[in-house]
Structures are given as structure tokens and as C-alpha cells.
Amino acid sequence: MIATLKFTTLLLAVVVCRATQDYGYKDVEEPTLGDSQYGSLWPLPQKVQMSTVAFKLSGVSFQIVDAKESSSGASCSLLQNAYRRYDEYIFPISRMQGQNKKKAFASVSELQVWITSADSECDNYPSVTSDESYELSVDSPVAVLKAPKVWGALRGLETFSQLVYEDEYGAKSINRTEIQDFPRFTHRGLLLDSSRHFLPIKVILANLEAMAWNKFNVFHWHIVDDPSFPYMSRTFPQLSQQGAYHPYTHVYTPSDVKMIIEFARLRGIRVVSEFDTPGHTQSWGKGQKDLLTPCYSGASPSGSFGPVNPILNTTYDFMAMFFKEVSTVFPDAYIHLGGDEVDFSCWKSNPDIQKFMAQQGFGTDYSKLESFYIQRLLDIVTTTNKGYMIWQEVIDNGVKLKADTLIHVWKGNQQQYQAEMARVTASGYQALLSTPWYLNRISYGQDWQAAYKADPQDFNGTDAQKKLVVGGEACLWGEYVDATNLTPRLWPRASAVGERLWSDKDVKDTNDAYSRLIQHRCRMVQRGIPAEPLFTGYCAHEYKGEVSTATLNQPTIISARGAVASSTLLSWRLWMSRMAPRL
């Protein structure tokens, strides 16, 4: 009755009408749409055994409960919050508690969540070493989710919710299933940029929610940059007073930041803040005198400013105090220190900088001055006991780094970034890939496929080098996105990156992915995220534009139907009966 299905790619191909209007252009390629034997699972777990035996879930009596043996009890609010969230995803209409009625069919009455290690880590922050593994066994009358830590339980709850579907009559159903799962990479990040456009808190929260559905675990918060400084610093309040787009409507207060970090923690997501220096700092200069380098036009200052001034002691005093604050505000063990795209022209124009260069024996090699700055900055941050991430330029320029530094690769074409990954890991550093996942760059058609095909371990290197790849990050830089368009532009395109970073490296059948992703996208829409369509078609529960702020903590779902979404191009009469995963 139970067949092992791990990574076979049997595809029940369906002949579909290809309803394209091609406009004389031929660049749009659609994958073949079929049924995935994995239903709507996204990202695909490491090992799935699914049976055709289906059970019902009673809206009156089904519960998610702590297993008796669990090391984590009713006092773990992280889990209690998660139970409530997933209960509402599965049963969007509120329901009363009641007794199980005598039934004529087999059902799953409970999902028991069993934290197996003595320390559940319920009250911790997630970290780079957090164990996210879990095992899920769905049977009648009881389903069991076992995980060493709460982090795995969160991932398993999402998976459980993705297994639930509706039969033809709308009854919640789930098949007998065994899943063993763990992430391929420990760092699965998403970068959002709140400087080029201010992102309202609720946009950030909505996207943290969607990240959890896609098993992302790092929110890389590119919080400040040239255009604006929305981070409200307690130590240097003038930074946002002067540098934000508006001193109180366009800032993140300390309590906003705390709330975002806690919202993320409850979903097993780390918040890694980026305070990029010495470039990308125009907005810093507005509220901090003498921090930036005065540029010269001939013999006199031009009135404009360049990167952070690396030759003044006051610069380092400022950075020491600033990063001391940042290290307490953001609990994560890592800070992203930037270090990218330093423009040397202003430094070159400044006579004091020139003098300093001569004194230090740097000649005219301004990358040495950059390294001088970064080196001192890293020493400062090291005293806060934080690890750091930096963009690839820092290592390209030969700065000495701590062994646990993460190098963030973002430049070049495929050949170039693969060579960089090889170089970085050959030097013994850990690497993180973003180049193929700059999702701000859009193009017509199904560009999720290109993101899906990229693999951070695709480069020439030894096994030891490959092990130094900790993962990757999807990036959505902010030039062309704000609250009006960020969310539909990001999802489901980022989902492609989510599966690449979680699932086994052999999970790369684009057709199978397409079938699951269409359903996963409709599920996101049903849960209230306006994820854009992959192609012509419809969802069983279309976007109604009725997401409210309340949704973010306790999602209010629009329709009476459950969490399973339809395939595109299926007739409306068939979609419900086809949602059951096939064997």
C-alpha cells in the first residue's frame, strides 16, 4: 500500500490546450503541465512516502496538540502560536470545540507535536546551527510530528498543512504519509531593501509569513543605504531624524524592530541586519557630521560627500558606538557589514586623504585604503562578539577576515560567479550565493525557471569546498518596488529559490516543480498573499484583495474552502477531485 517515491520523476502528463498569444515573440517557454505525485508540497521534502489511503480531518474535533512525551509543553508560546496559525490555514472558518461523532470513515483526530530533545529551544532565537529537521507520520487516528527542536516542528507544521486537501465535497482530507525532512542548506535568505523605498511594517510582516511557507530562514534586512536611513538609533537619533524620508512616518522605531524580530523568531526566521559601509552611506552623512569624506573640486570642497571618511579617529569612535548598539538590538550572531561598490573618485579628490595614503605607503591603490577601513571596522565588530557577513568585494580586495566570515557572492555572469564561489571556498571561507537570484530584475515570462535551475554548489571545487557553501539569498533591491508592487513581484518567484535551497540537489525536474508551484502559489493567494500568476489559468480561491493587518498574526481566510489550491487549466468541475496526490 505504501510505495517509496523518493525523487522518482514519473509524470502523469496531461494534454493541455496551450493558450498562448505569442505576439510574434518566441521567448516564452512553458513547462509541460502535469500532475505531480507530490501534490502541492513546496519545497519538496527530502523523503516522502505517500499512500493512496485517505483519511478525513474533522472540523469539529481535529486538533494540533503537544505529544505527551514532548519536551515542550503548553507553555511554549512559539508552538502555541504556530498551532493557531496552522489550524486557521487548515480550517479557515472559525469552529467550535466539540466531541468527535461516531464516524463511518477513518480520520485523523490529532496531530501530535513531539519535541524529542531535552531542550526544545522554544525561547531561543533561531541561529545558523538550529536544527530544522523533522519527521512526519500521518496515520489514523493520529498523526505524529517529531522534531529535535521547535524549528523542525515549525517546518513540519507547514508541511502537514500542505498535505491537507479537500475532497469533491469540500471535506478536509489527508493521505497516509511518511516524511523525513531536513534542509540542504543552513542559510536560506531573502533580502529586502527598506532604504530605496520605505517598506511599511505590515509589508515586512506579510513577507516574513510567506517566507515561512517557503521554508526560508533568514531575513536579510538591508535597512539603510544612500537614499534613506529609516533605522532609528537610540545612540544617534539624528541619523534617522535627518536621514530618513520622514523622521517619524518613515522610520523603524526600536519597538518596530523588536516586533519584526519576534514575528520572525516565531516562524524560525533569523533577522540579519545590514549596515553597509563605507559606500552606500549618503543618508548617514545627513545626521552625523564629519562621517563622510568631503569631495573636492580642485583645491576646495565641492559641497558633496563620498564614502565614510576612513582617516579620522572620530569615524571609528562612531562606528564602535553604533555597532555596539546594533549588536544588542539585533540578537542574531551575524551582522552584514556590506563593503560593496566603493567609489574612489571622492577619496582621490581629497587632499587629506591623499596625504594619508602617502603616509601609509598605499601609493595610489585606493583599494588598500578601503581595506584599511574595513579591517578596522571588522576589529570593532569582533569586539561585540558578532560574526559578520560581507559582500564579495571585501575578499576580492584581500582584506583579512575571521574564519567564520560569510562571503556574499553577488556579481557577474554565471561563469564569473561560479569562479568566485570556487575562489572563496578555496580560500577556506564560507560562501553564500545571490547572483542568479536578484529578483528585482524582471523579464517577461516564466523567469522563475532560471532562478530554479541555478545551484550554489555548481562550480569547480572539492567536496570540502562545496561544504563551505552555506546557502544563498534571493534579493529584491528597492529601486522599483514599494508597498504597491513588492509582494506580487516577489512571490512565487522567490519560491523557486526556496526549493533550491531546501530540497535535495536532485530535485530539479522543472515540469514537476511547475505543477506543484502552481498549487503552492494558489495556496499563498488563499492565505492572503497576492502572489502573481505563473501563467494563464485560475485558482479555486482567487485573490480578493481583502488582506487586513489582522491577517498577519491570525490569518483570516476569505473563503470557506481549505488550503489546497487548484491546478491551472483544469476544468472547474475536476479541480477538487484531482487534488489528492496520485500514486
User: Would you please indicate which residues are annotated as catalytic (active-site) residues?
Assistant: 341
Cα separation, 175 vs 56, in Å, equals 9
Question: Kindly report the CA angle at 14 between 12 and 17, in degrees rounded to 5?
Answer: 165
Nearer to a second copy by C-beta: 183 or 279? Answer: 279
Under rule CB under 8 A, which residues in 74-133 are in contact with a second copy?
Answer: none
Q: In this chain, which of 3, 12, 60, 442 binds a second copy, going by CB under 8 A?
A: 442
Q: Smallest gap, in angstroms, from Cβ of residue 280 to a second copy? A: 7
With CB under 8 A as the rule, give the number of residues binding a second copy. 63
Nearer to a second copy by C-beta: 332 or 420? Answer: 420
Is residue 169 involved in binding a second copy (CB under 8 A)? no
Q: Smallest gap, in angstroms, from Cβ of residue 490 to a second copy? A: 11
Is residue 23 involved in binding a second copy (CB under 8 A)? yes
Is residue 250 involved in binding a second copy (CB under 8 A)? yes
H or E stretch at 349: helix 345-349
Cα separation, 285 vs 283, in Å, equals 5
Is residue 537 involved in binding a second copy (CB under 8 A)? yes
| 389 to 418: interface string for a second copy, x by CB under 8 A | ---------------------xxx------
Q: Smallest gap, in angstroms, from Cβ of residue 524 to a second copy? A: 9
Residue 103 cell numbers, joined: 464516524
Under rule CB under 8 A, which residues in 199-218 are in contact with a second copy?
Answer: 200, 202
Nearer to a second copy by C-beta: 360 or 553? Answer: 553
Q: Smallest gap, in angstroms, from Cβ of residue 274 to a second copy? A: 12
Cβ-Cβ contacts under 8 Å for 490 (sequence gap 6 or more)? 190, 207, 210, 439, 474, 476
Nearer to a second copy by C-beta: 40 or 130? Answer: 40
**Residue 525, SS3 per DSSP:** helix
Cα separation, 204 vs 264, in Å, equals 10
Under rule CB under 8 A, which residues in 339-358 are in contact with a second copy?
Answer: 341
Is residue 300 involved in binding a second copy (CB under 8 A)? no
Is residue 336 involved in binding a second copy (CB under 8 A)? no
Question: What's the one-letter identity of residue 191?
Answer: L
Cα separation, 307 vs 283, in Å, equals 11
Question: Which range touches a second copy (CB under 8 A), out of 50-58, 154-162, 358-366, 474-482?
Answer: 474-482
H or E stretch at 477: none
Is residue 382 involved in binding a second copy (CB under 8 A)? no
Question: Which range touches a second copy (CB under 8 A), out of 32-40, 63-71, 131-139, 241-249?
Answer: 241-249
Is residue 482 involved in binding a second copy (CB under 8 A)? yes
Q: In this chain, which of 94, 97, 300, 443 binds a second copy, going by CB under 8 A?
A: 443
Is residue 444 involved in binding a second copy (CB under 8 A)? yes
Is residue 472 involved in binding a second copy (CB under 8 A)? no
Nearer to a second copy by C-beta: 59 or 445? Answer: 445
Q: Smallest gap, in angstroms, from Cβ of residue 79 to a second copy? A: 30
Question: Which range touches a second copy (CB under 8 A), out of 97-105, 129-137, 239-247, 382-390?
Answer: 239-247
* Residue 277: HSE in the Cβ half-sphere, 13 Å Cα cutoff: 28
State whether the Cα torsion 258-263-265-271 is positive or negative: negative
Neighbours of 535 (CB within 10 A): 17
Q: What is the dihedral of CA 255, 258, 263, 269, to 10 degrees?
A: 150
Nearer to a second copy by C-beta: 188 or 197? Answer: 197
Q: Smallest gap, in angstroms, from Cβ of residue 536 to a second copy? A: 4
Q: In this chain, which of 42, 252, 452, 543 binds a second copy, going by CB under 8 A?
A: 543
Q: In this chain, which of 20, 63, 462, 554 binds a second copy, going by CB under 8 A?
A: 20
Nearer to a second copy by C-beta: 107 or 240? Answer: 240
Q: In this chain, which of 14, 426, 458, 488 binds a second copy, going by CB under 8 A?
A: 488
Residue 133 cell numbers, joined: 529537521
Q: Which of 193, 215, 263, 242 is nearest to 438 (CA)?
A: 193
Alpha helices in 38-183 (DSSP H): 77-90, 150-163
Is residue 45 involved in binding a second copy (CB under 8 A)? no
Please give the C-alpha separations between residue 280 and each of 229, 342, 394, 398, 434, in angstroms, as whole numbers.
Answer: 11, 8, 14, 20, 19
Nearer to a second copy by C-beta: 17 or 403? Answer: 17
Question: Which range touches a second copy (CB under 8 A), out of 102-110, 119-127, 132-140, 478-486?
Answer: 478-486
Per the listing, cell 505543477 goes with 515
Question: Which range touches a second copy (CB under 8 A), out of 21-29, 129-137, 392-400, 420-428?
Answer: 21-29
Task: DSSP letter for 30, please.
Answer: P
Cα separation, 61 vs 292, in Å, equals 63
Q: What is the DSSP string of 121-152?
A: -TTSPP-TT----EEEEE-SSEEEEEESSHHH
Q: Smallest gap, in angstroms, from Cβ of residue 207 to a second copy? A: 13
Is residue 331 involved in binding a second copy (CB under 8 A)? no
Chain centre distance of CA 290: 36
- Cα(first)–Cα(last) distance of the chain, in Å? 10
Q: How, if at all, do strands 187-193 and 172-181 pair?
A: unpaired
Nearer to a second copy by C-beta: 163 or 576? Answer: 576
Cα separation, 400 vs 378, in Å, equals 9
Q: What is the 3-state secondary structure (H, E, C) of 188-212?
A: EEEEEECCCCCCCHHHHHHHHHHHH
Tell me which residues touch a second copy (CB under 8 A): 17, 19-25, 28, 196-198, 200, 202, 225-228, 245-247, 250, 280, 282, 341, 410-412, 438, 440-445, 477-485, 488-489, 525, 530-538, 542-545, 547, 569, 572
